[in-house]
Amino acid sequence: MISTEELLDAIKGRVLLGESMKEHTALKVGGSADFYVDPLDRDDLCRALSFFEERNLPYTLIGRGTNLVVHDDGIRGAVIVTSRALGNYTIKKNILTCSAGVPLPVIAEKTFSLSLGGLEMLQGIPGTIGGAVAMNAGAYGQEMSGVVSWVEIFENGKPRVISAEDIRFGYRYSSLGESVILGSGMKLEKLSTAEHGRRSQLRREAFEKRALSQPLSWPNAGSVFRNPRPEENPSGLSAGQMIDACGLKGTCKGGAMISQEHANIIINTGEAASADVMELICLAKEHVRKMFGVSLELEVKLLGYEKTLC
């Protein structure tokens, strides 16, 4: 058992008991975390991590909660949030050194404004650098793995730097697994004026495409399913195209709906429960399995679930 006083003594930042995760996730579903820890700075975050590790107590690190589905019964143990504690970055020449809690849109905008390329197409991804490195986030031909030179993790009570050569990256995957990411160094490309102009145009087109094809005004967690590997998917369709072909756009369970604009996105129309979202996930999986013989895998991360229910 954690003594709450002991925890409050150990951490300088905010510690909230029984904090609803609806407030801290883009999809706005889910119950409460036993402890919601918002450390003040990097040292404070490391202290919080050590506090839970030394006592062998469960904790989950989150960034901006843009890729999460939290169980209605909430999360046992602590949720430790990085946004405030790990919020610094520096740019020297074409080298970006960025703490894990910095929002990716901020960095994508800033670096491109300095004529540095490599992250500009990722501006529409609303997560943090830590979440993006962990997931190897990507869009419109760019992925985090294209720029990451090294990653700093917190391991056995201290920071350790891992070179990119020692990390495996794949489609929405990194071998960093459960590692706690404190920050990352990235090597960006210096852009000529002509190349900056060309990419500005590509970026504008990507923004327009995103605005037209995604339900940006509704709470959601981005793509629910990964696109299946080509060798397991003779149809060649994306996850969203398969769900659409099953006629599921607009299907509702409680307050959750398979988006009319993008079949691989589930939106919260107001009062969705996590159970509603999970029903839609299972429904989509079942239909796609029957129609295409493909077993869809989740891209969103489930928190508080012992296992996927289908």
Ligand X SMILES: Cc1cc2nc3c(=O)[nH]c(=O)nc-3n(C[C@H](O)[C@H](O)[C@H](O)COP(=O)(O)OP(=O)(O)OC[C@H]3O[C@@H](n4cnc5c(N)ncnc54)[C@H](O)[C@@H]3O)c2cc1C
Catalytically active residues are: 172, 223, 299
| Total of residues contacting ligand X (CB under 6 A) | 31
Residues 6+ apart with CB under 8 A from 104: 119, 122, 123, 125, 126, 127, 128, 129, 132, 137
* SS3 call for 36: strand
- Residue closer to ligand X by CB (options 121, 191) is 121
Residues 6+ apart with CB under 8 A from 128: 63, 64, 82, 83, 86, 100, 101, 102, 103, 104
| Alpha carbons 117 and 300: distance in angstroms, whole number | 27
Is there binding between residue 68 and ligand X (CB under 6 A)?
yes
- Identify the CA nearest to 262 among candidates 246, 253, 249, 245: 249
Q: How far is the CB of 75 from ligand X (least distance, A)?
A: 11
Among 30, 39, 65, 228, which residue interacts with ligand X (rule: CB under 6 A)?
A: 65
Binding flags for ligand X, 260-299, as an x/- string (CB under 6 A): ----------------------------------------
Query: What kind and span of H or E run contains 151?
Result: strand 148-155
Among 30, 74, 126, 254, which residue interacts with ligand X (rule: CB under 6 A)?
A: 126
Among 29, 45, 62, 162, which residue interacts with ligand X (rule: CB under 6 A)?
A: 62
- Residue closer to ligand X by CB (options 65, 304) is 65
Is there binding between residue 74 and ligand X (CB under 6 A)?
no
Degrees to nearest 5, angle at CA 52 with 48 and 54: 110
Is there binding between residue 128 and ligand X (CB under 6 A)?
yes
Binding flags for ligand X, 169-208, as an x/- string (CB under 6 A): ---x-------xx---------------------------
Contacting residues toward ligand X, per CB under 6 A: 26, 60-68, 82, 100, 125-128, 130-132, 134-135, 137-139, 172, 180-181, 220-222, 301
